[in-house]
Structure 1
Amino acid sequence: MLLAVVLASALFLCSSASQGCFTLTGIRNAVYLIDNLQKDTSSKCSCSTNATDCLCLPISSGDCSTACFQEGLSQMSSSTVSTRFHLIVNQLKKIVVTLKSNKCGSFACEQPCNRTTTGNTLTFLKALLESFQNDRMRGKA
């Protein structure tokens, strides 16, 4: 199943790359990770306490969250939580970099990560998904 998702995403990514500001693959990958990490207790841990076994990722409350997404995805790719999903996390990293390079919507900003809060893996992925969805809706307007 994972291989099918990765291959389908890779094909779509290649076909969409020339379009510049694509977010559909990012949406699909984020949804896939969220769905598959729902049962993982370490993905739902609390970052408000001093939990040592919790991956707490930066979440910006401002309009410019690209740097926070890049930082969080880098942390995810090097964590043991995502070893099963390493390809998908790396693909999300590439999508965010491409959106930033192509100056797409909210991913066009160049500010450093304004780490106003941290969240667990699921909270981080939901914030990333929301950004992808918002940019997709802007592109259709």
Structure 2
Amino acid sequence: MNASMLSYILLSCVLLSVQAHNCQVREIIRNTKSLLNKTEESWSCRETAATPCSCLPIPEPGHELACFVEGTNHMMEHNMTTDNRLFLLNQSFQIQLDRNLCESLTSGKECKYKTKGTVKTFLEKILKTYQEIHKSRV
């Protein structure tokens, strides 16, 4: 093993430990706020055969990450925004879910919800969830 490979492995371990510690809270809050500022009012919650569903899962406690992955996937599949921040959010949620990086949110690997909401309501749920994590760590 050469020195550059060892450096890469050490840096990767440090980055993973930092990610595990903060759940990327600040980045998720920043990206979610930015998307909320761009949310179109035309993204109403409607489920009909003729239009793609713009209703997104509002997760039950303990199933947040799975629902955040499902909801952001749905938004990307239906081109609800072309903003790169949505891709970054989805990627962050998927990594946190797959690697159990955010302990307070990873108890449910399946999206469970009782209600669905608009894109704005969904983004507000993401924001509120990560703001609560941020408050508990300060």
TM-score range, shorter chain: 0.7 to 0.9
Residue 139 of structure 1: how far off its partner (Å): 2.2
Are the equivalent residues in 2 in contact too, given 1:42–1:55 (CA < 8 A)?
A: no
1:74 aligns with 2:76: no
Are the equivalent residues in 1 in contact too, given 2:58–2:125 (CA < 8 A)?
A: yes
* Larger-gyration structure (1/2): 2
The equivalent of 1:23 in structure 2 is 25
Residue 41 of structure 1: how far off its partner (Å): 2.4
The equivalent of 1:41 in structure 2 is 41
Are the equivalent residues in 1 in contact too, given 2:62–2:105 (CA < 8 A)?
A: no
Alpha-carbon spacing, 1:135–1:16, altered in 2? closer, same or farther (3 Å):
farther
The equivalent of 1:12 in structure 2 is none
Are the equivalent residues in 2 in contact too, given 1:30–1:128 (CA < 8 A)?
A: yes
Are the equivalent residues in 2 in contact too, given 1:23–1:132 (CA < 8 A)?
A: yes
What fraction of aligned residue pairs are identical, expressed as a percent? 27
Residue 56 of structure 1: how far off its partner (Å): 0.7
Tell me the C-alpha RMSD between the 2 structures: 2.4
The equivalent of 2:120 in structure 1 is 122
Are the equivalent residues in 2 in contact too, given 1:42–1:53 (CA < 8 A)?
A: no
Are the equivalent residues in 1 in contact too, given 2:62–2:106 (CA < 8 A)?
A: no
1:96 to 69, 86, 93: 93
Specify the SS of the correspondent of 1:116. Answer: strand
Residue 54 of structure 1: how far off its partner (Å): 5.0
Residue 18 of structure 1: how far off its partner (Å): 4.9
Q: Report the TM-score, using the length of structure 1 for normalisation.
A: 0.72
Q: How does 1:128-139 map to 2 (within 5 A)?
A: 128-139=126-137
Using the alignment, how far apart are the partners of 1:127 and 1:69 within structure 2? Answer: 9
What is the CA deviation profile of residues 29-85 of structure 1, one whole-angstrom value per residue up to 9, with x for unaligned ones?
Answer: 000000111xx2222x144x75936511111132322111110010011122212x1
Using the alignment, how far apart are the partners of 1:64 and 1:54 within structure 2? Answer: 21
The size of the alignment, in residue pairs, is 120
Which structure 2 residue ranges, 5 or more long, are not aligned? Answer: 1-13
Which amino acid in the other structure matches residue 73 of structure 1? T
Are the equivalent residues in 1 in contact too, given 2:45–2:54 (CA < 8 A)?
A: no
Are the equivalent residues in 2 in contact too, given 1:55–1:120 (CA < 8 A)?
A: yes
Which structure 1 residue ranges, 5 or more long, are not aligned? Answer: 1-14
